[in-house]
């Protein structure tokens, strides 16, 4: 059977989609993104379920503003304070980006706690999602370490003495405490190495670890799906009255455009 | 057969030489930017010409409409349990052989482990060891004995490690106790609070107008000081450094000192649980330097059995 020559419109659409097809054929990434964005979620989820994405957004804001601040910040005891002052007072919009990073740090932690509270109250940490709870707790701990190490960087009196107290607090831990304190300080006394060490931990080690854990966290969210609220009539484990529900009950069914709700 | 992604036929365009001409054209343009505008024009013409030919070549199959894919001869795959064995079973009386796959597995893991260890160990050492090696500070010359009036604390600030700069500035409260058996006696208290390391302050009036500065050492005499207080969490100490109130777990640390050529030198710091008596006759219960908040005596001291090298 002879092929009908494609119409002009079809040809144009094909041309426009060609880059996507090219990418999909070589990587499968287009399908992966579609799978991620159009996966099925329970029909009775609420705004509370967006707190995880909100935390992720806060982390991305921290990462982006942090990278830009790192272009101007100098982790050296003699110039750190001056470089922060330069960012805040001299550079165009520097005060804004620094403010986003400073206040966004609190937003990130608060959102993580709210997200944690939602997961706890909905019982979403239960089987089979225990591992994801554990990963989330690790992200929270690393996020708070980010706060601890980042607090020294402005290198003013508050930052310095808060860090002195914070490190000494760690050093009062039994047995290994004194050694932990020396590792954090980079020696028995706070010195030039301490600031650089905190900077490296704050901007390289911890963000990398958090990003890795976030990827694992999201992988498990996609793999295990989103939980229904406990009061949902279609939540897993609920006794369904009447005939057994269809196998995909509780999931939003895709329906053609314009179709009515059944 | 498993479904496969994409087509059976890869979309590779037929090989073509036009990109070579295209690249020559681009190079011509760049050369022309230096040599002269005519070369730029030639380069642009070459680029456009060969680019057009190249695009014509790659887009040819699309313009003609996709050709019918040639039928690919298919045959059922051979299941793993049929066909010839990759490694025949050992015969009767034959030694059990060590399969090559096992050998490769072990050698990959073993070699990988060795290489990983060789790379990791120095990095790990560099990460952990520097904070514990070559610690401590040189002796600090805080000036002639005459700068320390008897029975008055002098606020003495100095650089602990001059090569580290201002970040290593520390403070000691030094009191001249007069002579004990013909030898000068000093009380040299560290200002590091024994709670969590904040800077304790003199509970008394610093006489700023009598400030002396010499070699980066600042000396500020004080009027009679009634002990010390910490601004952070309210720890209080008497004028011997004994804790009198608040959260500190022991007395203030002290500096070792010695006198050389009529000048006072501060040495290592040591920790003190408590001081009996006062002034030159004080009996100091001293211990190796411990961090703030760490007990040096009593039952809680078992929590801190080993201190890192100082």
Q: Do B165 and A77 touch (CB under 8 A)?
A: yes
Q: Given a cut of 90, is residue A261 above it in pLDDT?
A: no
β-bridge partners, B245: B236
Residues B36 and B150 in one domain: no
Q: Do B135 and A187 touch (CB under 8 A)?
A: yes
Which chain A residues are Cβ-neighbours of B310 within 8 angstroms?
188
- Looking at CA atoms only, how far is residue B87 from chain A in angstroms? 36
Residue B154, in any domain of the structure: yes
Q: How many structural domains comprise chain B?
A: 2
- Would you say the C-alpha torsion A175, A180, A183, A188 has a positive or negative sign? negative
Residues B175 and B295 in one domain: yes
Q: How far apart are the first and last CA of chain A?
A: 43
What's the domain range around B50?
18-60
Q: Given a cut of 50, is residue A39 above it in pLDDT?
A: yes
Q: How far apart are the first and last CA of chain B?
A: 70
Residue B195, in any domain of the structure: yes
Residue B246, in any domain of the structure: yes
Length of chain A: 262
Report the range of poorest mean pLDDT among A39-43, B39-43, B267-271.
Answer: A39-43
Residue B220, in any domain of the structure: yes
DSSP state of B218: E
Task: Give the max Cα distance, chain B.
Answer: 112
CA dist., res. B217 & res. B59, Å (int)? 80
Best of B197, B249, B287 to disrupt the A interface (most A CBs within 10 Å) is B197
- Looking at CA atoms only, how far is residue A158 from chain B in angstroms? 11
Inter-residue contact A115 to A52 (CB < 8 Å): yes
Residue B123, in any domain of the structure: no
A157 in contact with B at a CB cutoff of 8 Å? Answer: no
Residues B295 and B170 in one domain: yes
Q: Do A3 and B65 touch (CB under 8 A)?
A: yes
DSSP state of A220: H
Tokens at B54, concatenated? 């190249």
Inter-residue contact B135 to A181 (CB < 8 Å): no
- Looking at CA atoms only, how far is residue A238 from chain B in angstroms? 38
Give the phi and the psi of residue B289 in degrees, each rounded to 5.
-60, 125
Residue B192, in any domain of the structure: yes
Length of chain B: 310
Edge-to-edge strands, sheet with B236-237? B201-202, B228-229, B236-237, B243-245
Inter-residue contact A180 to A170 (CB < 8 Å): yes
Residue B131, in any domain of the structure: no
Q: Do B167 and A161 touch (CB under 8 A)?
A: no
Which chain B residues are Cβ-neighbours of A190 within 8 angstroms?
167
Q: Which of A171, A174, A175 sits opposite B291 (nearest CB)?
A: A171
pTM above 0.90, yes or no: no
Residues B158 and B25 in one domain: no
Cβ contacts of A162 within 8 Å, gap of 6 or more: A151, A152
Residue B282, in any domain of the structure: yes
CA dist., res. A113 & res. A1, Å (int)? 64
Residues B145 and B280 in one domain: yes
Q: Do B198 and A178 touch (CB under 8 A)?
A: no
Domain map of chain A by residue range? 47-224
The domain defined by A47-224 carries CATH number 1.20.810.10: yes
* pLDDT tens track for A193-219: 999 999 999 999 999 999 999 999 999
- Looking at CA atoms only, how far is residue B22 from chain A in angstroms? 22
Residues B153 and B262 in one domain: yes
Report the range of poorest mean pLDDT among A201-210, B71-80, B102-111.
Answer: B71-80
Tokens at B32, concatenated? 């022309």
Q: What is the ipTM of this complex?
A: 0.76
Residues B156 and B247 in one domain: yes
């Amino acid at each position: 059977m002879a092929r009908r020559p494609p119409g002009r419109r079809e040809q144009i659409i094909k041309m426009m989609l060609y880059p996507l097809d090219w990418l999909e054929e070589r990587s499968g990434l287009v399908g992966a993104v579609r799978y991620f964005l159009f996966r099925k979620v329970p029909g009775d989820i609420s705004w509370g379920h967006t707190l995880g994405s909100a935390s992720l957004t806060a982390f991305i804001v921290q990462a982006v503003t942090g990278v830009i601040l790192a272009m101007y910040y100098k982790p050296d005891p003699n110039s750190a304070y001056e470089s922060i002052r330069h960012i805040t007072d001299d550079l165009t919009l520097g005060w804004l980006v620094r403010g986003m990073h400073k206040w966004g740090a609190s937003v990130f932690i608060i959102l993580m706690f709210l997200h944690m509270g939602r997961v706890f109250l909905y019982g979403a940490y239960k089987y089979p999602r225990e591992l994801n709870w554990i990963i989330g707790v690790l992200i929270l701990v690393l996020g708070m370490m980010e706060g601890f190490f980042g607090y020294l960087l402005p290198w003013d009196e508050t930052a310095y003495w808060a860090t002195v107290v914070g490190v000494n607090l760690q050093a009062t831990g039994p047995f290994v405490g004194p050694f932990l304190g020396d590792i954090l300080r980079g020696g028995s006394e706070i010195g030039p190495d301490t600031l650089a060490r905190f900077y490296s931990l704050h901007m390289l080690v911890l963000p990398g670890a958090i990003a890795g854990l976030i990827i694992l966290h999201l992988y498990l969210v996609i793999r295990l799906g989103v939980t229904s609220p406990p009061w949902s009539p279609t939540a897993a484990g609920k006794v369904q009255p009447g005939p057994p529900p269809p196998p995909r009950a509780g999931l939003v069914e895709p329906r053609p455009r314009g179709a009515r709700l059944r | 057969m498993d479904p496969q992604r994409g087509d059976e036929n890869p979309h590779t365009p037929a090989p073509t030489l036009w990109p070579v001409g295209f690249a020559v054209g681009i190079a011509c343009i760049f050369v022309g930017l230096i040599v002269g505008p005519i070369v730029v024009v030639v380069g642009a013409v070459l680029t456009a010409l060969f680019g057009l030919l190249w695009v014509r070549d790659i887009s040819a199959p699309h313009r003609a409409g996709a050709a019918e894919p040639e039928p690919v001869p298919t045959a059922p795959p051979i299941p793993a349990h049929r066909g010839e064995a990759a490694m025949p079973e050992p015969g009767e009386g034959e030694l059990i052989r060590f399969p090559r796959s096992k050998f490769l597995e072990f050698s990959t893991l073993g070699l990988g482990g060795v290489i990983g260890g060789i790379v990791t160990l120095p990095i790990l050492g560099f990460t952990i060891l520097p904070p514990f090696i070559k610690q401590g500070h040189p002796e600090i010359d805080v000036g002639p004995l005459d700068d320390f009036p008897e029975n008055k604390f002098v606020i003495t600030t100095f650089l602990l490690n001059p090569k580290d700069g201002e970040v290593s500035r520390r403070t000691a409260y030094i009191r001249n106790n007069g002579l004990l058996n013909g030898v000068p006696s000093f009380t040299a208290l560290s200002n590091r609070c024994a709670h969590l390391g904040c800077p304790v302050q003199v509970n008394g009036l610093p006489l700023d107008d009598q400030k002396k500065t010499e070699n980066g050492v600042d000396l500020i005499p004080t009027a009679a000081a009634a002990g010390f207080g910490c601004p952070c969490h309210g720890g209080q100490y008497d004028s011997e450094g004994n804790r009198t109130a608040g959260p500190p777990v022991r007395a203030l640390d002290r500096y070792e000192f010695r006198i050389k050529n009529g000048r006072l030198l501060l040495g290592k710091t040591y920790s003190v649980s408590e001081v009996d008596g006062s002034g030159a006759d004080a009996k100091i219960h001293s211990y190796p330097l411990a961090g703030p908040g760490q007990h040096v005596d009593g039952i809680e001291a078992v929590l801190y059995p080993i201190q890192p090298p100082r």
